[in-house]
Structure 1
Amino acid sequence: MDIKIERKNINTDILIIGGGIAGLTAAIALKETSPEMDVQIVEKQTSGYSGKANKGGGVLQYFDLEKIKPEDFTAYHVQAIGCYLGDQDLMKKYVSMNNEMLDKLVEWGAVLPKREDGSYAVIPTGPMTAMIGVDLNITVRLRRTAEKMGVQFLDKVTVSDLLTSENRIAGALGYSILDGTVYAFHAKSVVLATGSQNYRIGPMWSSGRGDGIAAAYRAGAEMRNPEFGNFAQLVKVRSHNEVVFGENHMYNQLGEHVTKNFRSGPEPDISSSAIAEWFQQMSEANGPIVLKLDNDGGGLHKVWDRPYGQDFWSLNRKSAENVDVDNEVCPMLIGEQSPVKVGHDMQTTIPGLYAIGDVSYCGSAAPGAVPAPPGRNRGSGILNAVFAGILCAEGASENAMNITVPALDEEQVDNCIAKTFAPLARESGSDPKEIIRLIQQAVGPMERSVYMSDHRIETALKYVMKAKELCETLKANDFHELLSCHEAAAMVLSAEMQFRAADMRKESRGWFMREDYPDMDNENWLKWIIVKKQGDSMEFSTEDVPYEKWSVQPSKVQ
């Protein structure tokens, strides 16, 4: 392909990469904090229609703060869900801001159902938690609010690389997926809001492709908790429709209620023990596993009035009615790897670079030993994005006001452009679809990604290493295929981090489950796994969890 590169330079105070719920929240919060700041959102699809908030079940986590103390829920979460790997201060702050965040969303244009007395229409989901529905136009409404506040938008432009200078962030490099125009962004603060790594297996979550994770890694940012990128959900075998809370109703072909084998009472959401039970039942030829439900599985959609999403949900359920006659289920990998390491202000280990929402949830350490979202807390995904977007606003704004941004390193820019467009210059090479399929073969089977063992991790890594080798010769025929090349490379990077970290953690804790190390090991593994690029190598280390400074502490040996 004959490549003629046109370059455009854009200067802004604050650059936000990603126009989903996290990016839009950050933009609005930044404008509220500093109205005079120039705020630019760049999105590879269309802001307001991208991300996962407008494609999922549309629920928000709710805490009745008149009855529930943030420290009480934090204690429950640390012990029962995060299993002592979570940042208790950050979790407590998230809970304490819950009602404030809901009110903010309404102020910004989101429609949340309420009862006649003006209270939010919530339904209970687990110990101390409930959830409230939100219509799927939430991101469209937030975009309209951001536009009115003066936020600038650039759609159909994907960011391939973050740019650094003088050991801090200086901007980013991207290109139009329509015509290949290169955009060099020069910014004082950069906010990464690009979503998690979901490996393109579940269609509802396929927008999370890990490209922001890969860009942050290549720029030198540290990663934390990459092994918790293995969330799975029960789905109908034939329609692939997700069945929320279906794990409560699992039966094998003998008619046995197998839920009782791994759960003694109500739990807030699916756990990895449900996946392990499915695997064991199938291994013992007791499958298929079916659900015996009290309703048609569409009950949640009938609780709230959400007209924007109702046609979609009705069409989806109708299309599944004729194929899901036997209610057979299997687990499907969702992924939800979110490892970019951040502090309480959402700043990464690169000064001036912030990461929010699904790109950094596990990297913040707030959820502990669970992939997130939903991190066994339904509705925490959207609200964590709102939470992180609000938290980053003050720091990103102050940083932009108080620093003189270094000039872009033009040699770095030229090198990034050359690497970015290399697949278009090759006459032949590897198809990104082939690489994506290899990674899906590595992460997709539950026995490799969720119910793990040393041998099965080794098998998964063989697929990853083969895909990594093919990445050196990626070939694209147009700009859309070029985007697929970059997303394929990001999937390889995420999978390598995930399995190498999983191999290191020789225990079972929270969602993380190893058949060969079935016990939680507080003596050796009250640690976070840290990953950082060193030259051409992926370096792994550990960081002790500072549990001594928090109120809820584990027994040193369990």
Structure 2
Amino acid sequence: MKQTKIVQKKIETDILIAGGGIGGLSAAVTIKENNPEAEVLIVEKQTAGYAGKANKGGGVLQYFDLEKTTPMDFVAYHANMVGCYLGNQNMMLKYVAMNNEMLDKLEEWGVKVPKNRIPTGPMTYMVGVDLDITLQVRKVAAKLGVKFMDKTTISDLLVTNGKIAGAAGYNILDGTFYEFNSKLVIMATGSQNYRVASMWSNGRGDGIAAAYRAGAQMRNPEFGNFSQLFRVNSNRECVFGENVMYDAYGENITKNFRRFPEADISSSAVAEWYNQVSAGRGPIYLHIDENPMTSNEEMMLHAWERPYGLRFWEIDFEKASTVDKDWEVVPGFVGEQSPVKVDEEMRTTIDGMYAIGDLSYGGSAAPGAVPAPPGRNRGSGILNAVFAAIIAGRNAALAVKQTSQQPVDTAQVKTLKENAFAPLFREKGITAKELISQVQDVICPVENSVYMSGHRLESALRKIEQLKPLVSELKAEDLHDMLSCHEAEAMVLCAEMQFRGALMRKESRGWFLREDYPQMDNDNWLKWIVCKNENGTMVFDTEEVPIDTYPIQPPRF
């Protein structure tokens, strides 16, 4: 494609939603339910209804029996045992209190929510929905008049005098460049998962990077280091496997870090694997028959009636069974960095822009000291996206009535267009695949991202610094490859943000584990780390957790 052949179009709408997964779709439906006259456009780089993670995993939703557990009961447990006082307790309280309302909404939107539930941890259960969940919500959105643009990526945001004016993007099939003018923007583009584990590989951080470039603040960027146990041959996830870990000599090593039931896998389980293997006591195996949560591999296939996803799960299970001859496991890096900072109405620090779901789960501060999703709360990924979408959707439905379209800077649009297509017109350079592989080599090792120390973090950061100049050398062969180049750029940015934030936090808290600072430090680090772009420089600061306003206090209080 020649530069002169690029077609450019302008599209106007009241509310632009970037991302057609469960979060974006739920936000669109909520807006139309509360303001039918609002024009809502969902722009999705793949296909809305098939995009996102909600339709690619286990399809589980977190459930609270509010007749037996009060929201405050769970907030107290979570603050002490999971979020470790770093969470926004107001947000968590609201999330739990709205649990039944969210499940009722999904049923109203055509999603079949079963009544039988499976315990997952103290005070929590999970219920399984079918993998057509997003298709059901898209049907409702279309009936309400929501418009869709598929195969179109939002590459950057348009900001005028600190207020959102719209976005810029391009079609990955024909290369048409779009200038979107909108009064409000809701970003629902997912987390950063570095294209490592297959189920999460569509979380590529391009929305994080776009928000960062536009000037939106980030919060908790260091909590992007979720890891899970995987079977070594098939790379199948082993949920709850941390409860039955044994070394090569048959000794139970779970007892070294866990004495009673916990919410979900912890970083201490991953660190235990690392220390045992480093000491020559590996490989590590699971003794699945010792725990009812691990003894029946096929339980999740048939616990609920889910015909749409059943064949997918069966094929996945059958293929894995042909290569898994034993229960050797290794930690697999997932990531789940979700740092776009939002307030309790899901508003970012850019006026007129919201961020929801996996894009801002950590940035909302609701989960506390843990990468989210899943935030050591199985089923909270999908349900938090619905929660954030309802909150943002209701707010946006009202706000759009009092919001005017900001003028768009045509020079800014021209620059963003040139930046977007630069990899396609570069005559030589590095491929996206090559750069992504190099980022993965740095971010994936347990000792770099989960069981951390100052010198290992500094070494990892130096390697990422060496990769940054390669971003301007990315070369694309076609439009799909051009999208991959922008995703590779986002991965470099997010990795830098994560390592710099991790170096800054000199303590261990919740999931965050520093070998050189093993204790939680409430005197100095009851703080959120905040990051922003200042004229191209990544600047960090801290924000005091308003712990004295929360109902649950750490020991020193």
1:275–1:331 contact (8 Å) kept in structure 2: yes
1:498 corresponds to 2:493: no
Q: How does 1:17-32 map to 2 (within 5 A)?
A: 17-32=18-33
d(CA) in 2 for partners of 1:206 and 1:33? 34
| SS of aligned partner of 1:86 | coil
Give the one of 89, 102, 116 matched to 1:121: 116
CA distance in 2, matches of 1:197, 1:43: 17
Q: Which residue of 1 aligns with 2:87?
A: 86
**1:326 Cα offset (Å):** 1.2
CA distance in 2, matches of 1:511, 1:554: 17
Residue 178 in structure 1 maps to residue 173 in structure 2: yes
Q: Name the residue aligned to 1:50.
A: 51
Counterpart Cα distance in 2 of 1:304 and 1:397: 35
Kept in 1, the 8 Å contact 2:41–2:146? The answer is yes
In the other structure, the counterpart of 1:227 is 222
**Which stretch of structure 1 is more off in the superposition, 293-302 or 348-357?**
293-302
- C-alpha deviations, 1:503-554, integer Å up to 9, x for none? 0001000000011111000010000000010012000000000000011111
Q: Which position in structure 2 is the counterpart of 1:543?
A: 543
**Mapped contact 1:531–1:540 kept (Cα < 8 A):** yes
- The normalised TM-score by structure 1 is 0.98
Does 93-102 or 468-477 show the bigger shift?
Answer: 468-477
User: 1:103 is aligned with what amino acid?
Assistant: D
Secondary structure (helix, strand or coil) at the match of 2:138 reads: helix
Cα distance in 2, alignment partners of residues 19 and 463 from structure 1: 34
Q: Deviations over 1:409-437 (max 9, x none)?
A: 10100010011111112111121111101
What do residues 197-242 of structure 1 show as CA deviations (whole Å, max 9, x unaligned)?
A: 0000001100100000000000000000000000001000000000
Correspondences of 1:122-521 after superposition (within 5 Å): 122-294=117-289, 295-521=295-521
Question: 3-state SS of the aligned residue for 2:229?
Answer: strand
Q: Secondary structure at the match of 2:139?
A: helix
Cα distance in 2 for partners of 1:459, 1:134 equals: 43
Are 2:32 and 2:397, in contact at CA under 8 Å, matched by a contact in 1? no
> Counterpart of 2:399 in structure 1: which amino acid?
N
What is the distance in 2 between the residues matched to 1:536 and 1:24? 33
d(CA) in 2 for partners of 1:370 and 1:56?
A: 20
Aligned-partner SS, 2:323: coil
Conserved 8 A contact 2:442-2:463: yes
Corresponding residue of 1:96: 97
- Provide the C-alpha distance between the structure 1 equivalents of 2:546 and 2:362, rounded to a whole number of angstroms: 16
For residues 319-373 of structure 1, the C-alpha deviation after alignment (integer angstroms, 9 at most, x for no partner) is 0112111111001011000000000110000000000000000000000000001
- Whether 1:75 and 2:70 are equivalent positions in the alignment is no
Counterpart of 1:112? 113
> CA offset at residue 393 of structure 1?
1.2
Q: Percent identity?
A: 61
Q: Distance in 2 between matches of 1:486 and 1:225?
A: 23
- RMSD over aligned CA atoms reads 0.9
Deviations 1:64-114 (A, max 9, x none): 01111101100110010000000001100000000010010010011122x
Rounded Cα–Cα distance in structure 1 between residues aligned with 2:446 and 2:32: 44
- How far, CA to CA, are the matches of 2:213 and 2:312 in structure 1? 38
Question: Which amino acid letter does the alignment assign opposite residue 15 of structure 1?
Answer: L
| 1:461 Cα deviation from its structure 2 partner | 1.2
Equivalent-residue separation in structure 1 for 2:220 and 2:464 (angstroms): 19
Amino acid at match of 1:382: I
Partner SS, residue 333 of structure 2: strand
> What amino acid maps onto 2:79 in structure 1?
V
Q: TM-score, normalised by structure 2?
A: 0.98
Larger deviation, residues 547-556 vs 169-178: 547-556
In 1, the alpha carbon distance for the partners of 2:127 and 2:406 equals 45
1:174-217: CA deviations, max 9, x gaps?
A: 00000110111100110000000000000110010000000000
2:65 aligns to what? 64
C-alpha distance in 1 between matches for 2:229 and 2:220: 24
Give the CA deviation at 1:296. Answer: 4.7
The number of residues matched between the two structures is 551
Q: Using the TM superposition, name which of 472-481 and 332-341 deviates more.
A: 472-481
Cα distance in 1 for partners of 2:106, 2:346 equals: 20
Q: Deviations over 1:2-25 (max 9, x none)?
A: 232101111101000000000000
Q: Indicate if the aligned counterparts of 1:243 and 1:297 stay in contact, CA closer than 8 A.
A: no
Residue by residue over 1:296-335, the C-alpha shift from the partner in whole angstroms, topping out at 9 and shown as x without a partner, is: 5222222111111110111011101121111110010110
SS state at 1:401 partner? helix
Work out the CA distance in 2 between the residues paired with 1:527 and 1:429: 41
8 Å CA contact retained: 1:13, 1:37: yes
User: Which residue identity does 1:481 align to in structure 2?
Assistant: D
CA contact (8 A) 1:39 1:151 kept: yes
Q: Is the 8 A contact 1:188 1:399 kept in 2?
A: no
Q: CA shift at 1:249, angstroms?
A: 1.1
Q: Is the contact made by 1:23 and 1:41 (CA closer than 8 Å) also made in structure 2? A: yes
Q: In the alignment, is residue 38 of structure 1 matched against residue 33 of structure 2?
A: no
Deviation by residue 1:426-481 (Cα, 9 ceiling, x = unmatched): 11112111110111011100110000011111121122112211112111121111
Q: Displacement, 1:165? A: 1.1
| Alignment partners' CA distance in 2, 1:129 and 1:425 | 52
The answer to whether the 8 A contact 1:62-1:131 is kept is yes
Choose 401-410 or 204-213, whichever is displaced more. 401-410
Matched-pair contact (CA < 8 Å) for 1:441–1:463: no
Letter in 2 for 1:450: V
Query: 2:301, 2:314 within 8 Å by CA — same for their partners in 1?
Result: no
1:468-498 per-residue CA deviation (whole Å, 9 max, x = no partner) reads: 1111211112111100110000000000000
Report if aligned partners of 2:249, 2:281 keep a CA contact under 8 Å in 1. yes
**Cα distance in 2 between the residues matched to 1:167 and 1:222:** 12
Partner residue of 1:116? none
Quote the Cα distance in structure 2 between the aligned partners of 1:149 and 1:448. Answer: 47
Query: Which letter maps to 1:53?
Result: A
Query: Structure 1: how far apart are the matches of 2:300 and 2:98?
Result: 25
**Which consecutive residues of structure 2, in runs of 5 or more, have no partner in the other structure?**
290-294
State which drifts further: 403-412 or 233-242: 403-412
- CA–CA distance in 1 between the matches of 2:155 and 2:531? 20
> Shift of the alpha carbon at 1:283?
0.3
Which residue in the other structure is 2:292 paired with? none
Letter in 2 for 1:333: F
Deviates more, 1:355-364 or 1:285-294: 285-294
The answer (yes or no) to whether the contact 2:166–2:181 under 8 Å persists in 1 is yes
5+ residue gaps, structure 1, are: 114-119
Q: Which residue of the partner structure matches residue 117 of structure 1?
A: none
> How many angstroms apart in 2 are the aligned matches of 1:296 and 1:320?
15
The answer (yes or no) to whether the contact 1:124–1:131 under 8 Å persists in 2 is: yes
Aligned counterparts of 1:507 and 1:523: Cα–Cα separation in 2: 11
Residues of 2 paired with 1:199 and 1:353: CA distance?
25
